[in-house]
Chains A and B, each alone.
Chain A
Amino acid sequence: DAGVIQSPRHEVTEMGQEVTLRCKPISGHNSLFWYRQTMMRGLELLIYFNNNVPIDDSGMPEDRFSAKMPNASFSTLKIQPSEPRDSAVYFCASSRTGGLFYGYTFGSGTRLTVV
């Protein structure tokens, strides 16, 4: 299994530009999570999906952030317009519900720098 695949690994963009982060979860996993990691705040849950349906987006910081999951094998996190304070590492994770819980499998992350 290739694991959770995120792209790009690094993104440098100018303030005001649109940024799209992509995630391919593990095949057969039906829950998908987007996290943001910073030194100050640690791992913050932004939004999660069950069976492609957004369940809780209360962690999304502002309306500038949006996430979609059009099918079971793909999700995007979009920031429009981006701001320097959005600079962080963004992780996607997936898991399977039902049966013994083995936690989440994380991708390698996208390091976003907004200048």
Chain B
Amino acid sequence: GQQLNQSPQSMFIQEGEDVSMNCTSSSIFNTWLWYKQDPGEGPVLLIALYKAGELTSNGRLTAQFGITRKDSFLNISASIPSDVGIYFCAGSSGNTPLVFGKGTRLSVIA
């Protein structure tokens, strides 16, 4: 079945630093999504990408849909303590359910 490789698994950064994480797939996706999960809550959608090469921003977050349609990255600029959580990538190829990465656990040191 389809698999997503998400890296890094975890990150410890200083407040104010930029963060970058990425996902690669063994197959092509039509849609890439990035979610954030806060402790004790369900994942919440951050950014959705629909076209190869698309670059989309949401505040300090920027995500790109890779040209090959098999990868995506998420950048967070000037991290703050509330950025702490688990970030998930997810891919959709149409009628099949979303495939999720294993997540990147972000810790921000003030």
Residues of A within 8 A of B (CB): 4, 33, 42-43, 45, 48, 56, 91, 93, 100-109
Contact = CB atoms under 8 A, between A and B. Distances in A.
Interface of B: 31, 33, 35, 40-45, 48, 50, 88, 90, 92, 97-98, 100-103
Contact of A103 (B35, B42, B102, B103): B35
A33 B97 contact: yes
A43 B100 contact: yes
A70 B49 CA distance: 34
Nearest to B1: A58
Contacts of A103: 31, 33, 35, 45, 48, 90, 92, 98
A108 B42 contact: yes
Contact of B42 (A45, A56, A100, A109): A109
Nearest to A31: B97
Nearest to A58: B1
A102 B35 CA distance: 11
Contacts of B43: 43, 91, 106
Given A33-B97, A43-B100, A101-B31, A106 B40 contact: no
Nearest to B42: A106
Given A42-B102, A42-B103, A103-B90, A93 B31 contact: no
A77 B103 CA distance: 25
Contacts of A101: 31, 48, 50, 92
Contacts of B35: 103
A108 B40 contact: yes
Contacts of A33: 97
29 contacts: A4-B42, A33-B97, A42-B100, A42-B101, A42-B103, A43-B88, A43-B103, A56-B97, A91-B43, A100-B50, A101-B92, A102-B45, A102-B48, A103-B33, A103-B35, A103-B45, A103-B48, A103-B92, A104-B45, A104-B98, A105-B45, A106-B42, A106-B43, A107-B42, A108-B40, A108-B42, A109-B40, A109-B41, A109-B42
Nearest to A43: B100
Q: Which of B31, B35, B42 has the most CB of A within 10 A?
A: B42
